[in-house]
Structure 1
């Protein structure tokens, strides 16, 4: 059966159609999910796309965490059963929902960044990165004003020790992210937050590369294998 991947649209989402296109190119069926509906429609995985949910009022993702769709998503993701990828604003929502540690703050330069960006994959044992190899460098798109990842030293040390830093910026982080962190995973490896945009690098015609497609084909490989992910980021 074809995997069904939900893509959530919040008021202010910008990249929901791009995420759905990436899901389709990877070989899955994208399923439109609305922020105001608490039903996940039985999807196999969920993508929280980039944009400016609820206008980024209060803090980025702070209002979206209370959307009805999150009432079913949060416990399913926290249990390790539902793979969830949060991209850019989606990453911010995952942090605000306490599915991932840390927070995303204003870029150190205080300027919006829009550029092609090289990432280094650090953890290849998650539901969203198993088609990559540790140390592999990929070219995707970075576009954000609040992409500066911060956490307390103890949290950063724990992420390092447990292999939950999914990707780093190659070279110095352009937004000032601590330890050059571009993405992190939860302890089960089913939830991944990524500040850059892999969905904008799935076709040679429209992106800087096709390197981002691996996030979506990794999901399909994980679903096909049906294997548990507990402890996977450490591998």
Structure 2
């Protein structure tokens, strides 16, 4: 199994994501934003958290138009797995790979804390290691985590069972408490919380580890 972690100027969770991928059994390569192709044979691409390009214009807007962005989109279009926490989620919405947008938190303040999430579906590789309705503790660290979409999009996400996680108590004003969503083929997950920061006992909790193991299991079973 092969994974790639994209690295942009301002990324600060790229190594965390690589460590989580490797712990789940992935041979992991870091890919600089100026590259135009992914390494051959990549199964999973990680789009990390941080502040890509300093969050200028809008969070994720420049990264979504970087040289590597075309290869990222092509990977998703051909059915490859993509996992994008925090700034990665912002990048995927800016790139049109996931619907909606991430706006400033309702309180207009940066939030850094552990947040309780409810697992809303277990029919994706990312969530198959959890029980539906299970509550997990995952760190959040963002200023623009307020997931927003029009009523039609929210209805479609709910109707197609594409809301992967919801906040138990919404910290940022996100519509319908949405913390993470899936693409229509269920192989792309964007979420504001950071499961890579809850995947080792030394982190103080391991509730995020099942997400990475789930993708690895899906690839082994394919």
TM-score tier (shorter): over 0.9
1:166 match: 164
User: Within 5 A, what are the aligned runs for 1:153-232?
Assistant: 153-171=151-169, 173-205=170-202, 207-226=203-222
Alignment partner, residue 76 of structure 1: 75
**Rounded Cα–Cα distance in structure 2 between residues aligned with 1:27 and 1:58:** 37
Question: Displacement of 1:78 after TM fit?
Answer: 2.5
Write the deviation string for residues 4-48 of structure 1: whole angstroms up to 9, x where unpaired: 110110000000000011111112221111111012102111010
TM superposition outliers: structure 1 runs of 4+ over 3 Å: none
Residues in 1 aligned to 2:153 and 2:137: alpha-carbon distance in whole angstroms? 27
Partner of 2:28: 30
How many angstroms does 1:187 deviate by?
A: 0.4
With normalisation by structure 2, the TM-score equals: 0.97
Partners in 1 of 2:157 and 2:164 — Cα distance? 9
Residue-by-residue CA offset, 1:62-102 (whole Å, 9 max, x unaligned): 000111111111022023x1100111000000000111000
> How far is the alpha carbon of 1:129 from its aligned partner?
1.5
TM-score by length of 1: 0.92
Paired with 2:8 and 2:220, the residues of 1 have a C-alpha distance of: 29
The C-alpha deviation readout for 1:185-214, integer Å capped at 9, x for no partner, is: 010000000100000001111x23101011
2:6 alignment partner, SS class:
strand
Question: Contact conserved, 1:141 with 1:208, CA < 8 A, in 2?
Answer: no
Q: CA–CA distance in 2 between the matches of 1:18 and 1:190?
A: 21
Q: Any gaps of 5 or more consecutive residues in structure 1? A: 227-235
The whole-number CA distance in structure 1 between the counterparts of 2:127 and 2:156 is: 20
* d(CA) in 2 for partners of 1:105, 1:123: 24
Unpaired segments ≥5 residues, structure 2: none
Residue number in structure 2 paired with 1:132? 130
**Equivalent residues in 2 for 1:70-149, closer than 5 Å:** 70-79=69-78, 81-149=79-147
> Hey, what's the Cα distance between the residues in 2 that align with 1:56 and 1:84?
21
Q: Distance in 1 between matches of 2:34 and 2:176?
A: 36
